[in-house]
Amino acid sequence: MPKGKLFGLSTELLKKIGWTAEGLHEKSRKLIITNDEARLKFIITKTADVTAYVEYGAADVGIIGKDVIVESGVDVYELLDLGFGKCHLMMAVPKNKKRPRLEDYSHTRVATKFPRIAENFFAGRGMQMEYIKLNGSIELGPIVGLSESIVDIVETGTTLRENNLEEIVSIMDSTARLIANRVSYRLKFERINNLVTDLKTVL
């Protein structure tokens, strides 16, 4: 389970199908919360770490945004689109510095938390860019002259507007996904498949 925006929605959804545990809330200081009766262990991690736990099989299944899955490039099974956590990844530039075509930004600097997705996107269009990896407040980049543009996730667009940035191209849409480790999927197929079926009925 990822801390942050997806946590509440995920636990609520899982609770509907009886997958819950006493004391399972985000403010809990415990890292692992167990429900012995239901044979469940909830591991609470930072958002970007969920994929690692699942890829290595330390967790059998996890809930995480599609954007994080693609950026981490991990080899996990993607079983279900949970529909929530909707956002999209896009490129934005300061309103007053817009250029006519996307190609006109070639060889400029782009600040992003998602360098891998950004590079795939631009490389697919024959564009080389200079990627500056930031870990937060991406929109600062163009304001202070660190970069010409940003590639970031947007939910409502408020942050963009407040910072006089304008989206010029959408890169990918993202929602929360149920993921599974490839071996767990086979060795615990019945439980995992039931989880998928049950979740489908409450989505």
Partner 1 sequence: MTGILETPHGTRDFLPKEAAAKRVIENRLAKLFASFGYEEVVTPTMEFLETLTTSGGHSIESNLFKMFDQNNRTLALHHEMTTPIARLAASRLKNFPLPLKLSYNTSVFRFRKNQPQRQCEFYQAGVELLGVSNAFADAEIIALAAQSLQVAGLKDFTICLGQVEFAGGLMEQNNLPPEIQSKIKNAIERHDIVELEKIVDALDLEKSAADSLKKIPKLHGGTEILNQARAMSKNEKSLRAVDNLAEIYKLLKNYDVAEKINFDLGIIRDFEYYTGPVFEAYAPNVGYSLAGGGRYDHMLKDFGSDCPATGFALGIERILTAREQQGIFEDARTREIYLGYAENKIDAAIKKASELRAAGKIVELALNPQTKDDAEKSQAAKNYGELIYLEG
Nearer to partner 1 among residue 38 and residue 196 (C-beta): 196
Nearest distance from C-beta of residue 103 to partner 1, angstroms = 25
Nearest distance from C-beta of residue 81 to partner 1, angstroms = 5
Residues whose CB falls within 8 Å of the CB of residue 53, separated by 6 or more in sequence, listed in order: 43, 45, 59, 62
Question: What is the total residue count of the chain?
Answer: 203
Residue type, 152: D
Distance CA 160, CA 14 (A): 33
Exposure class string for 49-62: b at 16+ Cβ within 10 A, else e: bbbbbbbeeebbbb
Nearer to partner 1 among residue 113 and residue 177 (C-beta): 177
Output phi, psi for 188, to 5 deg: -120, 40
Residue numbers at the binding site for partner 1 (CB under 8 A): 55-58, 66, 73, 75, 77-81, 177, 180-187, 189-190, 193
Distance CA 100, CA 156 (A): 25
Nearer to partner 1 among residue 77 and residue 140 (C-beta): 77
Nearest distance from C-beta of residue 56 to partner 1, angstroms = 5
Bridge pairing between strands 77-81 and 176-180: antiparallel
Tally of CA atoms within 13 A in the half-sphere of 2 that contains its CB: 23
Nearer to partner 1 among residue 82 and residue 90 (C-beta): 82
Nearest distance from C-beta of residue 191 to partner 1, angstroms = 12
Distance CA 191, CA 61 (A): 11
Nearer to partner 1 among residue 138 and residue 176 (C-beta): 176
Nearest distance from C-beta of residue 132 to partner 1, angstroms = 20
Nearer to partner 1 among residue 91 and residue 178 (C-beta): 178
Nearest distance from C-beta of residue 1 to partner 1, angstroms = 18
Looking at the DSSP assignment, which residues form a beta bridge with residue 13?
none
